[in-house]
Structure 1
Amino acid sequence: MNARAPHSRLLARLDADIARTRNLVDAACLRAERAGFLARRGQFAEAKAELDALHVHFADRPHPAVSAWLCMVEGWMLHFGSLSAGARDKLKRAQALSAAAGLAQLQALSSAWLAHMDYSHNDLDGLVRNLTLALQLAAPDNHAARARACMVVALSYDFCDRMDLAQPWYVRSREHALAEGDETTQSALNYNISAHRVHHAMQAAVFGGDVQGQARYAEAGAECASNFDDWVGTESLDALMPMQRACIASVQGQYGDALALYEKHLEDARQQGLARLTGNYLADMAWCRWHLGDRTGARRDGHAAAQSIDSSMHVDDQATTHARLGLLFGLLGEEELRTGHGARAQECWARHRAYQDEMVRAFEAAQLVTYRPGQEPQDRVPVKG
């Protein structure tokens, strides 16, 4: 960890609460929450040691609150270790345990995190259901649940190219994260905002748009996210930001810099949960190689990228990969591949646009409305189904 990293306010509060708590179950829940913070920051060995100790201590006399916390933290370890799909199952278990035990605030937190997983898995029904549940249950001072839920609303609107609707939710999420003293959530906000700017820049590069304007926003966001993580000592998922920088360099025409970043960090990115994006990365590496005069390498990576496109890729990622390959194979004189990938790109892009429209309509129907400065947002919304 960076030696300059400040002492976390959240960690300090948890340490103080643990020191003065005499109730065994309350202390165990706080210890689990502390382990979760460490896991989200990337300190997995220390987090696992604490979890193992809690498992041993409660093996013969399980308590629902402790069990729910252990499931949640195990989910975080899987997510922040490798973006594993198994994290979602752990969080579903945490949600079920907390709901059965009537632990509303823990259910709110697990529901908010499940919403984030639903968002990543394009499960729109689950996303809306868990967001509304989290915001309905979370007390005004449940900053952890509200920060995560507000972030997911913001990310969803940002994904839909509706920054006008996303921005107020980003603001609310950051306010709750600051109130909680949770640097890992602030880090997640920075990273995800930057990631969206990168995606929009790449989409503009292949489908048309303000490429350099989007790239400048992406570059500023990546710089902010990297500096913040260096400052607070975030160690988890450390290959993700270099891959963002590679994409930014590519759309800015800095092909040598982009290729060097891709080659250095691609394998780590795959191991940290981005294997489904291999096709995107290989296609862009091929694009860089062509512009650097390596036609053989460009053709090789281009064909490898085409082979890597499968159903695990989100449709917007499929669209940008096909579009990049269509442009590449056109430059390489492979007309049949240019036409085929170009057609697939347009098909996937149309499906992506339709999903964006569906998501906005679903959020509007669920009354996940935009926060307006000067008035309380409509956070307490009805639960669907």
Structure 2
Amino acid sequence: MTSPLVQRLLACVQQAQDPVVKACYMAELACYWARTGEFDKAEELRAELRQGFGDGRNVRVSILIMCLEALLAYFRELSPSARDRMARAALLSTASQDPSLISLTSAWMAHIDFNLNKFDSMASAIESCLSKMPLNDGSVDCRISLVLGDAFLFSGLISSSNMWYQRARAAAAKIGDQAAIGALTYNRAALHVAGARLKHISDPLPSSDITLVQVEVQSAINYQAIAQLQSLDHLLQSAHVGVMVLLSQWNEALPVITKVLESSKIPENAAQRTLLEVDLALSLASLGNTSRAVQIVTSLQDSVIDTFSADDRALIWHSALRIGEVCGLSERLSYYKYKIDFALREHRDIVQTLCTLLRPFEKGNAL
């Protein structure tokens, strides 16, 4: 199913007579394909745009090319260069004094910084975006609303999260951006899974709560299938694994984890990969393959895990603790507990700080 937004952009590219106008539509189309994982298509347009406008003859096109290159680096490999490239685009947008470009690049900076836990700069980017956003720019409205929905949900402020998610969904539906709706359904599901697993560390969740999270993950998977979006598949399957871990469905989890780990879509040294590996070990240990489980858990590299966010670290070390309990690694249990407690304390401090930063946007009063 071709997204209505893609259909419109393809028509605009075909009909455009002005080279600059055509290039802007091409860049917007390529950015969409970068978001959906259609990297070959996006790269082809990037090369064409570079060939025609690589000399910087048009500031707007140059900035849009930089946005495209940042999104390719981000969605293809979560490269650190993505933030640098988008930051440069944002700087040039400010210099150009173009409100539409300032709001666009600020929205993406907020998105990237939220996922990097750079919350101070995220809040600044949100403020910049909302102060410059044109009233009729549904794409930017959708992006910044989605970031705010995610940030409020991560902070546990459900009412404000729902308000911004509803705004994001309305904006995405209006412009026919199926990829944004897919991202929204995935983000909500993944954040709910992570939140449930964090709560489960201290207090076992009732089965009814886990069922609600399970339904949300399945709804996100169903939407991706209906809209024929593949770019989030490995992330959705990771969220599915999180639900199966909560339900202790080890036989079901094992093949799913193995398939995701064997794919080439997860960067090395990513928190997602390490969590899947330790969940694989927990599944193996729970099914009686303790020797392989011990081999995996004892090979965990603290120096790598310490670079992850506090919530990811807490989940990784909690699975390690459960493996240690099943496999009789009594000499390591106190260490795992220490790492969990340290990560949880840090996570609570981060959430408290984030709640303060988000306060100006809590009721949408920044609009």
Indicate conservation of the 8 Å contact 1:144/1:180, yes or no.
yes
| Aligned counterparts of 1:149 and 1:235: Cα–Cα separation in 2 | 23
| Aligned counterparts of 1:282 and 1:74: Cα–Cα separation in 2 | 31
SS of 1:345's partner is helix
Indicate conservation of the 8 Å contact 1:154/1:169, yes or no.
yes
| Aligned counterparts of 2:170 and 2:76: Cα–Cα separation in 1 | 27
Measured after TM superposition, the shift of residue 355 of structure 1 is 0.8
Task: Show the counterpart of 1:353.
Answer: 348
Task: Show the counterpart of 1:154.
Answer: 149
Task: Specify the code of the residue in structure 1 equivalent to 2:365.
Answer: Q
Which of the residues 42, 64, 77 maps onto 2:37? 42
Task: Show the counterpart of 1:125.
Answer: 120
- What count of residue pairs does the alignment treat as equivalent? 367
Task: Specify the code of the residue in structure 2 equivalent to 1:153.
Answer: L
Q: Which has the higher contact order (CA 8 A, sep 6+)?
A: 1
Which of the residues 211, 216, 221 maps onto 2:211? 216
Measured after TM superposition, the shift of residue 309 of structure 1 is 4.8
SS of 2:233's partner is coil
SS of 2:167's partner is helix
Indicate conservation of the 8 Å contact 1:283/1:325, yes or no.
yes
SS of 2:238's partner is helix
Task: Show the counterpart of 1:194.
Answer: 189
Between the aligned residues of both structures, percent identity stands at 24
Task: Show the counterpart of 2:52.
Answer: 57
Which of the residues 358, 361, 365 maps onto 1:368? 361
Residue 361 of structure 2 corresponds to residue 378 of structure 1: no
Which of the residues 297, 309, 312 maps onto 2:307? 312
> Structure 1: 5+ residue runs without aligned partners?
371-376, 381-385
Task: Specify the code of the residue in structure 1 equivalent to 2:247.
Answer: Q
Measured after TM superposition, the shift of residue 222 of structure 1 is 1.9
What TM-score do you get using the length of structure 1 for normalisation?
A: 0.90
Cα distance change, pair 240–211 in 1 and its aligned pair in 2 (3 A): farther
| Aligned counterparts of 2:336 and 2:66: Cα–Cα separation in 1 | 43
What TM-score do you get using the length of structure 2 for normalisation?
A: 0.94
Task: Report which stretch shifted further, 222-231 or 48-57.
Answer: 222-231
| Aligned counterparts of 1:224 and 1:328: Cα–Cα separation in 2 | 31
Cα distance change, pair 139–220 in 1 and its aligned pair in 2 (3 A): same
Cα distance change, pair 269–44 in 1 and its aligned pair in 2 (3 A): closer
| Aligned counterparts of 2:318 and 2:300: Cα–Cα separation in 1 | 12
> Structure 2: 5+ residue runs without aligned partners?
none
Task: Specify the code of the residue in structure 2 equivalent to 1:133.
Answer: S
Measured after TM superposition, the shift of residue 59 of structure 1 is 3.1
Indicate conservation of the 8 Å contact 2:267/2:273, yes or no.
no
| Aligned counterparts of 1:179 and 1:214: Cα–Cα separation in 2 | 32
Residue 315 of structure 2 corresponds to residue 328 of structure 1: no
Instruction: Give matches, 1:1-385, under 5 Å.
Output: 5=1, 7-60=2-55, 62-210=57-205, 212-268=207-263, 271-272=266-267, 275-305=270-300, 307=302, 309-364=304-359, 367-370=360-363, 377-380=364-367
Cα distance change, pair 361–273 in 1 and its aligned pair in 2 (3 A): farther
Q: Which whole-Å deviations, capped at 9, do the CAs of 1:162-182 have from their partners, x for residues lacking one?
A: 222211111111111111211
Cα distance change, pair 215–306 in 1 and its aligned pair in 2 (3 A): farther
Measured after TM superposition, the shift of residue 109 of structure 1 is 1.1
Cα distance change, pair 59–316 in 1 and its aligned pair in 2 (3 A): closer
